[in-house]
Amino acid sequence: MDPSEVEFLAEKEMVTIVPNFSLDKIYLIGGDLGPFNPGLPVAVPVWLAINLKQRQKCRIIPPEWMDVEKLEEIREQERKEETFTPIPNPYYMELTKLLLNHASDNIPKADEIRTLVKDTWDTRIAKLRLSADSFVSQQEAHARLDNLTLMEINTIGTFLTDSLNHMYKLRTNLQPGKEAGKSQDF
Amino acid sequence: MFVSDIRKEFYDVIVNQRVALLVSADVDALCACKILQALFHCDHVQYTLVPVTGWQVLETAFLEHKEQFRYFVLINCGANIDLLETLQPDEDSVFFICDTHRPIDVVNVYNDTQIKLLIKQDDDLGIPSYDDIFRDDEEEGEDGDDSGNESEGGSEPSGKRRRFDEGAVERRIERRREKRDWEARRREILFDYEQYEYHGTSSALVMFELAWVMSKDSKDMLWWSIVGLTDQWVQDKITHMKYVTDVGTLQRHVSRHNHRNEDEENSLSIDCMRISFEYDLHLALYQHWSLYESICNSCYTSSHFKLWSIHGQKKLQEFLADMGLPLKQVRQKFNSMDLSIKDNLREVIEESSNKYGMKDIRIQTFSVHFGFKNKFLASDVVHAAAALLENIEKDESGTDNFIKALDSLSRSNLEKLHHGIKLAKKKLISVQQTIASCICTNQILSQGPFLYCYLMEGTPDVKLFSKPMSLSILSKYLLKAFVRSTKNKRCRLLPLIMAAPMDVEKGTVIVLGIPPEAESSDKKNFFGRAFEKAAESTSSRTLHDHFDTSIIELKTEDRSKFLDALITLLS
């Protein structure tokens, strides 16, 4: 899966906006949205929020978890634990990127939030690498990881499966005896 | 017709239509175009952008698009010529003109249906009143009455008819005399009105006010309107008073935006755009260059120090020593200068320049700041965009340069802006070198009523000066330098005509005229009409294609007779 596809899926999450126009309820295939009244907050999917923000038709309210103290707590917890801690939103990385790129003027202390989320991400990816490394070196048959997000899985997924494939082929090639003399095609 | 409520009569009309945007090739028009494009994106208005460089391109563009579009928006073109006669549009085409060229053609002012002028009427326009110029209805009515009287008189008995006839003849003679007087007055009024060409409020400022009225103004749009206004000032198109007034208006907007965002305790992300009002140095591109290079290549300082002479160079060294700036520091890139020197650089320079007679070394301007590395003054962006617009490097078509220059104004295209700054540096250096050579070899000759200078074909960088904006910057700087270098008091008050080879294959030169250099100049240029008359009287082969009527293209062979005609005309 492409990271942009993961971002596309992340855009379905709901976020609160304050529009400056009025519109009746709209009926879309994915669900109903609205009605929109100027000055009254309404929950919309992120793709619509970003589009309206770019057209200067709304103000985006940051989600609850996008707050400096909460993110600091999460980061500290992540650093203490050896396994993955549960995080507030399964698409935290994509939402941070989207909201901070398009609506950083509506989010207080945007730079610190960006740093904190990046720190959390780095810690989790480091744990993933360690666990993949131990998986391979101890030649385990299966592993279980809780609380991973789709983006993290996607980052390491292709690489892990491809490299395990190669290692399997290399291992089967090392078998002496009946395979000797024949060449193998990869 | 002037548009009184720009939102209702312009924007609400085109918001649901497809629009053709015809934009002239100067930085102010680019900025106005950017603001309008941003508004169109917000409201999903379909538009077609056509860059136009002259009247011929405008006409071809109009012919291509007239079937598909009803609404045309012209930016910085079209106000100073009778548009309906030139383009011959259909009855239902409507033109919205946002132009800084003055005087506005009277037909454009008084046409109620097809031409809408997006121009503020409180500019000192001096438009003659309707009755002074148009009188067609009354004429026909009177003739009709007259013949009516005669026919009525005819049905009467013969005695009365003779008396009516005499009265009618007298009245007709009287009316013809009145008509002749009225026509003479009309010609005089129109001549006075159209004699001088000048520029009005920046189009980018008009577009920004439209956005503000609709509450859709953003910091990007504010920055573009600042760049548009600064372009008018850099190109010397508006008076100092007008510039200061408009800067005041923009400063109010800037403080409104800053106040809105810094309100909360939490400060804004570093990536957000911050615009601030600065009382900064009048040195071109000094923050992207070394201080020494910038002083050598800015018009203000180089003409005051007379840097084309050895005496001037010595004076510059004295000036730097007076400020206590070591040469090594001053010659390296500005960003790498010692922090202690950079801190109160402006005050130190101001103090020293007062001693050397440069009272206006500091000017009111704005700067923008986003990200950790990017700080630009408005004049930096103007120089970069102008250099990109007239880039001769790759021989690309005019539209490619236009699009590149347009892109460089967006925040996300910083490499283009930096490329533009590099080109602008080259341009400024070649301008200074050309000025130095012209003054040292006395190429500026006084022809009586004006000064004249011709750039020979072998001059280095002469290709750069075949473009109107670069040539006009060269001529303005040259005139300033000449005024300070000449001992002849009379020559200081003369206007300048500059000629440079434009197209070697076709054998044409580009000729432009600029008004005389004065402290309180009102920047009014009479060369447009003078060129037209001179061309007519000598039947020289000229092309008055540029939107500024003071810039024309002329066949090289006709140059001497054209000049002679001008001399006779203006003396």
* Nearest-CA distance B532 → chain A (Å): 48
Q: Which two tokens stand for residue B22?
A: 């015809």
Average pLDDT (B227-249) is 92
* Nearest-CA distance B44 → chain A (Å): 9
What is the C-alpha to C-alpha distance for residues B513 and B472, in angstroms, rounded to an integer?
8
Helix/strand/coil for A20: coil
Percentage of chain B modeled with pLDDT above 70:
92
The reply to whether A70 touches chain B by the CB within 8 Å rule is no
| Residues in CB range of B453: below 8 A, 6 or more apart | B438, B443, B444, B445, B475, B478, B496, B497, B498, B499
**CATH class of domain segment(s) A3-172:** mainly alpha
* Nearest-CA distance B522 → chain A (Å): 40
Q: pLDDT, tens digit, for every residue of B103-121?
A: 888 888 888 888 999 988 7
Of B550, B552, B545, B555, nearest to B52 by C-alpha is: B545
Of B15, B21, B18, B20, nearest to B34 by C-alpha is: B21
Domain boundaries, chain A: 3-172
The answer to whether the CB atoms of B269 and A55 lie below 8 A apart is no
Measured between CA atoms, the residue of chain A closest to residue B372 is: A111
Of B43, B264, B270, the CB nearest to A108: B264
Average pLDDT (B466-470) is 89
Average pLDDT (B283-302) is 90
The answer to whether the CB atoms of B272 and A104 lie below 8 A apart is yes
Weakest-pLDDT range from B40-49, B378-387, B510-519: B510-519
Of A55, A57, A109, the CB nearest to B266: A109
Q: Residues 42 to 61 of A: which have CB under 8 A from any B CB?
A: 54-57
Contacts of B268 in chain A (CB under 8 A): 104-105, 110
What is the pTM assigned to this prediction? Answer: 0.88
Measured between CA atoms, the residue of chain B closest to residue A51 is: B42
Q: Render the burial of A152-166: b for 16+ CB within 10 Å, e for the rest.
A: beebeeeebeeeeee
Average pLDDT (B445-460) is 86
| Residues in CB range of B89: below 8 A, 6 or more apart | B62, B66, B95, B114
pLDDT, greater one: A142 or B96: B96
Give me the residues of chain A with pLDDT under 70, please.
176-186
DSSP string, B483-513: HHH---TGGGG--EEEEEEEETTTTEEEEEE
Q: In which element (H, E) is residue B50 found?
A: strand B47-52
First-to-final CA distance of chain B: 38
From edge to edge, which strands make up the β-sheet containing A42-45?
Answer: A42-45, A14-19, A58-61
Contact (Cβ atoms closer than 8 angstroms) between residue B462 and residue B493? no
What is the C-alpha to C-alpha distance for residues B543 and B540, in angstroms, rounded to an integer?
10
Contact (Cβ atoms closer than 8 angstroms) between residue A132 and residue A153? no
Contacts of B43 in chain A (CB under 8 A): 55
Q: pLDDT, tens digit, for every residue of B313-370?
A: 999 998 988 888 888 888 888 888 888 888 888 888 888 888 888 888 888 999 998 8
What is the C-alpha to C-alpha distance for residues B33 and A177, in angstroms, rounded to an integer?
77
Q: Render the burial of B148-164: b for 16+ CB within 10 Å, e for the rest.
A: eeeeebeeeeeeeeeeb
Q: pLDDT, tens digit, for every residue of B482-537?
A: 988 888 888 888 899 999 988 888 888 999 999 888 877 788 888 888 898 888 88
Q: pLDDT, tens digit, for every residue of B165-182?
A: 778 888 889 989 998 998
Q: In which element (H, E) is residue A101 found?
A: helix A92-102
The answer to whether the CB atoms of A108 and B266 lie below 8 A apart is yes
The reply to whether A102 touches chain B by the CB within 8 Å rule is no
Judging by beta carbons within 10 Å of its beta carbon (0-12, 13-18, 19+), is residue B51 exposed, middle or buried? buried
> Residue B534 corresponds to which amino acid?
A
At A115 the pLDDT is 93
At B72 the pLDDT is 93
Q: Residues 4 to 23 of A: which have CB under 8 A from any B CB?
A: 20
* Nearest-CA distance A107 → chain B (Å): 8
Measured between CA atoms, the residue of chain B closest to residue A114 is: B269
The reply to whether A128 touches chain B by the CB within 8 Å rule is no
The answer to whether the CB atoms of B272 and A107 lie below 8 A apart is no
The answer to whether the CB atoms of B268 and A110 lie below 8 A apart is yes
At B273 the pLDDT is 84
Of B43, B218, B271, the CB nearest to A104: B271
Q: Which of B44, B222, B257, B268 to mutate to test the interface with A (most CBs of A within 10 A)?
A: B268
Q: Which two tokens stand for residue B224?
A: 């573009």
Of A20, A56, A100, the CB nearest to B218: A56
Contact (Cβ atoms closer than 8 angstroms) between residue B518 and residue B236? no
The pLDDT confidence band at residue B150, using thresholds 50, 70 and 90, is very low
Measured between CA atoms, the residue of chain A closest to residue B271 is: A104
Contacts of B42 in chain A (CB under 8 A): 54-57
Measured between CA atoms, the residue of chain A closest to residue B258 is: A105
What is the C-alpha to C-alpha distance for residues B353 and B361, in angstroms, rounded to an integer?
7
The answer to whether the CB atoms of A57 and B270 lie below 8 A apart is no
The answer to whether the CB atoms of A111 and B264 lie below 8 A apart is no
The answer to whether the CB atoms of B269 and A100 lie below 8 A apart is yes
Residue B156 pLDDT > 60: no
What is the C-alpha to C-alpha distance for residues B229 and B220, in angstroms, rounded to an integer?
14
Of B42, B261, B269, the CB nearest to A111: B269
The reply to whether A105 touches chain B by the CB within 8 Å rule is yes
Average pLDDT, chain B: 86
Contacts of B267 in chain A (CB under 8 A): 109
At B430 the pLDDT is 92
At B139 the pLDDT is 46
Average pLDDT (B32-49) is 93
The answer to whether the CB atoms of B270 and A111 lie below 8 A apart is yes
Q: In which element (H, E) is residue A168 found?
A: helix A150-173
At B427 the pLDDT is 93
Neighbour tally for A120: CB within 10 Å:
23
Residue B90: alpha-carbon gap to chain centroid: 30
At B447 the pLDDT is 86
Q: pLDDT, tens digit, for every residue of B422-431?
A: 999 999 999 9
The length of chain A in residues reads 186
Measured between CA atoms, the residue of chain A closest to residue B42 is: A55
Measured at the CA of B320, the angle between CA B316 and CA B323, to 5 degrees, comes to: 140
